[in-house]
Amino acid sequence: MEFVLAIIVGILATSAFYLMLRRSLVKVILGMVFLGNAVNLTIFSVARVTKGYAAFIPENASTLEGVYADPLPQALILTAIVIGFGTQAFAIALFRKAFQKVGDDDLDKMNSTDIMCNEDIPGDK
């Protein structure tokens, strides 16, 4: 199981970085989504994949018996998914706005804050 997960993580991370290095904003956001998934699967696999019961303590017992799945990585992943979702949604809105303002989704056209700022940036007040 870990083997399969590792390969999937590898594929996801590779495609994520490939996409993030592209110039188009749409591909960058896709890369970010892939990277988020790769990260979540990494946490899932490094925290040991076990076949077992959900970690609910039975009503007449005080501890867990037998093999149970560790709930903490799942909680971590859930948190990471929610946060990732929020940031990705924000990024999409931001990219859309930037696309409208610049008129192009090419990241190479968005370098007016990187070059030597000797002139006012066009499009600013």
Partner 1 sequence: MNSILAMPVVFPLFTGIIMLFFWKHRQIQRIINFLGSTATLALAIYLTWYIKTSGIQCLYIGAWKAPFGIIFTADLLTMTMILVSGIIGFATSIYSLGTMDETREHFGYYPLLQIMIMGINGSFMTGDLFNMFVWFEVLLISSFSLVALGGERSQLEGAIKYVILNLLSSSLFVVGVGILYGITGGLNMADLARKIPMLPNQGIVNVMAMFFLISFGIKAAIFPLFFWLPASYHTPPAAVSAIFAGMLTKVGVYALFRVFTLIFVTNVAFTHTIIIIIAMLTMLSGVLGAASQMEFRRILSFHIISQIGYMILGLGLMTPLGIAGGVFYIFHHIIVKTNLFFVSGVVNELKGTYLLKKLGGVLKLYPLLGLLFLIPALSLGGVPPLSGFWAKYTVAVAAVEKGEYLALAVSLFVGLLTLFSMIKIWNEVFWKEQKAEFAAEQQALRQLPKFKIAMMFVPIILLAAITLFIGLNPEPFLDYANEAAQQLLNPSIYINAVLGGAQ
**In the complex, minimum distance from the CB of residue 58 to partner 1, in angstroms, rounded to a whole number:** 20
**Residue 81 binding partner 1, by CB under 8 A:** no
Residue number, 2 or 53, with CB nearest to partner 1: 2
Q: What CA–CA distance (Å, rounded) separates 65 from 49?
A: 18
- Distance, CA of 118 to CA of 74 (rounded, Å): 50
Separation CA 6–CA 14 (nearest Å) = 12
Residue count (the chain): 125
Which tokens in the block code for residue 71? 């709930």
CA distance 84 to 107: 22
Per-residue contact track with partner 1, 25 to 64, x per CB under 8 A?
x--x---x--xx--x--xx--xxx----------------
Does 67 engage in binding with partner 1 (CB under 8 A)? no
CB of 111 to partner 1, least distance (A): 8
The closest of 8, 32, 46 to 84, measured between CA atoms, is: 32
* Residue 94 binds to partner 1 (criterion: CB under 8 A): yes
Q: Which amino acid is at 123?
A: G
- Which chain residues interact with partner 1 by CB under 8 A? 20, 25, 28, 32, 35-36, 39, 42-43, 46-48, 72-73, 76, 79-80, 83, 86-87, 90-91, 94-95, 97-98, 101-102, 107, 110-114, 116-125
